[in-house]
Every structure is written in structure tokens, then in C-alpha cells.
Amino acid sequence: MRRIIKPVRKLGGTVRLPGDKSIAHRAALFSILSKAPLIVKNFPSGADCQRSLAAAETIGVRIERNNDGMILHPPATFQSSEDTVIDCGNSGTTVRLLTGLLAGSTAGGTLIGDESLSRRPMKRIIDPLTEMGAEIFAAEGGTLPLKVRGRKLTSLEYLMPVASAQVKSSLLLAGLASSCDVTIRETIITRNHTELMLQEIGKGLEVRDIKAVAVEDPNDPRKRRMVRPEPYRREIRLKADAVINGGEIDIPGDFSTAVFFMGAAAISGQTVTITDVGLNPTRTAMLDHLKAVGCKVDIDNRATISGEVRGDLKVTGGKLKPRKISGDTTVGLIDEIPMVAVMAAFATGTTIIRDAQELRVKESDRLMAISENLKKLGIKVGLLEDGLAIEGGKDLNGADFESFGDHRIAMAFSIAGLFLHGPSSIDDDSSVSVSCPDFYKLVDQVTQ
């Protein structure tokens, strides 16, 4: 349904967000392999996470709901086979993590998805899982549907060729399901929710950071330089006897959704507080970005619960400046790039975003979607193979935006519409239900 977005006169206040999607997916799927029930609090209602929960139920998890959340009772035996169809909808996390889990299990499944998910690349999990001995049958081009025939897998040592927490988690779940050693090495550190959850409610996982050491400079023996002794930055080792024991998972507010409220504060110059939001260091590159472009960030009530850092986040906007983003910074901001680009439209100067080619294969081609929508504002945009060049700082009028069926595009340009001259619209606001069905209600809380 098309949604009209009217400019706001005043913005500010406090908002509490639904549970973190990345953590919720893992809680749902971990319950399949757990030795005892998982108590899960603040599980979000978004369609993506509900797909993971439904998949767990199909495989045999019993869901007991109560006032505090739910209890996930693991199956005595798996109830799916390679011919059991499991619809993953639009959720890349569901299909990639579940593929690994099923590949190493005594079960199996045929994983399907919507049109968007059916175009997304799956070879990045198929190849290393096949190296472990997995039997996975994909459509031509390595896309959905995937038929997974569970079997006993062999150990794996794997240097990650792309920065992907989904690939890493898929391989760790395969090792857990098959009780085999898995060693993963990362040259770029990715989200570590799987590792933290396993360390919190299980055992058998070791994480080693490769620290740089001082060595003699071969060009000048009087000097020393810092060198990392291994060609990677982090090593994650899952032992063959690793298990999930069960326990409690209290999910903090979703940082990725919080980004849109941070962006609203940044553009408006006002203050928005987001309470009890996840602050995992592998997720918070946006906070550094906000500071770099002229905003103020404060954190109160910091705590660690269920292995995850959380706190109350207060963002105050300022006069926005442009920034050049590339390399590790882009990786840290990859899901936040739609909001980063919208903020760039309101900044004075040209923002350059590079090394973001991964956005071409998300729910939409996000680089193209961002470019098309910014052009509707009259913004000068250069669409690059791996990024964008955005010349901001102009007086911007309302426009009719396209969501491209992508929740992050819809959310980002809905926020943009709050600060334009005249009304704007989003062609289809239903895509936000994938991650945050109450998004527009939450926006109302800080714009009235």
C-alpha cells in the first residue's frame, strides 16, 4: 500500500525497539540442536525472524508462549527429511544458517523462498559445506530451491573469502549438528552473535584474535614495526564435542532498526533516545559514522545480558558533513548504507561510498535503489560498480519513492520524507513487515 509521508515540524523523544533480528534468528535455530529448552525473551514479530521460528517448529521444536516470551523445547528426533518443504520467505539468514544445520544433521529439507530470495547467491555456503561432505542440490546458478540431504560431515579449516557472518554461522551450525571440528579464519571481522550465543548457552567454542607484534624493520634495524603473525585477524574454532546446553536468551533492541531513528536525529538536529538497544561492537560502526559527520552520541546504562552488550543510546544531530567510506568501514556499515546515503543527501558536500558491491545482491540491488530514489530528489548521484558518490546539501522537495520490495530502502526513504518540503510517498510500505511491522508507529512516537 502506498504511504504518504508528511514533513514534521518537531522530532525527538524516546523509543524502545523490538528484539534484534540477528540474535533472534540464531535463538530460533539454536533451539533445534539444544540439549535442553531455551527461554527466549523479546523475540521480534518481523516476518524474517518468524520464518526461522517456523522452520524450527517444522523440524520438531515445540513452542510454548508465555507473558515473558517463549520457551523453545528441542525435538527428541528431527521431523523433516529432504522432501520437507521449508519456506524461508525473504530471509537470507534463515536459509543460509538452516542449510548448514540441516546439512550436518540426521534430517534434511527443501528450502524455498520468495522471488527476491530466490535470486540471491548461495554458492558462498554451498561450496564450503560441500567441502565438508554435504549433499546440497541447488537450482542452476547456485540459487534456491536448495534440497539438503543431511549426513555426517568431516572437519573443515576455512579462510573466509568474503566477509559474511551468515556463511560463518552456517559452517558453525554444520559442525554443531555433525559433531565435527570447524576452524574459521576471518581477514575482516564480522558479526559474532553466533559465537557469543554458543559461549553463553553452550560449550566447545574458542575465539582467538591475532594481535600484531613488534618486529625489526628489515630496511632499518634501528626501527621496529607492527606485523600480524598470521594472514588473518581472527580464528574461531568449534570443537567436535561442542554442544548447546540450553538456558535463557534475553534479546536486546535491534540496532539495525535503531539506525533509522539515529538518522532522523542526525538530519533534524534534534535528540532521539533509543532504550535497551544492542551495542555489540561488531554492529556499532554507525556510531562512529555519526560522530564523524557531526553528531553527538551518548550511551547510558550499559550492561551485558545473555552475552550481548546493550544500553540506552542518545543521538543528537548537527550540521552534517560529507565523508569518504571504504574498506573495513564499509563492511561495518553494510546494512546501514541506505540510511547513510539518505543522511548524505542532507550533508554539505560530496559523500563517497566504495567497496559496497555486496549491496548488489541484497533484498534488492540497493546501490541502484538508493541512486534512483536520490535522483527523484534532484540530488546529483554517481552510481559506481561498488558504491555511490552523493552530492548533498540542497533544498529538497518531496518525491514519490520506490521501495523495490526492500525493507531497508522503504525505511530509509520514509525517514527522508520527514524532512522534505511538501509531502512524499513510498509506493509499498508493506516491505517493512519483514523486519519491523511497527516501524511507522514507532516513528510516530518521536514525531508528535
Name the DSSP letter for residue 34.
-
Four-CA torsion 237, 241, 242, 248, nearest 10 degrees: -160
Question: Burial letters for 74-93: b for 16+ Cβ neighbours within 10 Å, e otherwise?
Answer: bbeebebebebebbbbbbbb
Sole residue written with cell 546539501:
393
How many whole angstroms separate alpha carbon 231 and alpha carbon 23?
Answer: 29
- Written as nine digits, the cell of 428 is 509499498
Please, is 319 exposed, middle or buried when counting C-beta atoms within 10 Å of its C-beta (0-12, 13-18, 19+)? exposed
**Active site positions, annotated:** 335
Neighbours of 438 (CB within 10 A): 17
Query: What contacts 24+ positions apart, CB below 8 Å, involve 78-82?
Result: 78/32, 78/105, 78/106, 78/107, 78/150, 79/107, 80/107, 80/108, 80/109, 81/107, 81/108, 81/109, 82/108, 82/109, 82/110, 82/147, 82/148, 82/149, 82/150
Those residues with Cβ within 8 angstroms of residue 302's Cβ, 6 or more apart along the chain or in another chain: 279, 309, 310, 311
Peptide bond into 7 cis (omega under 30): no
- Residue 336 contacts residue 289 (beta carbons within 8 Å): yes
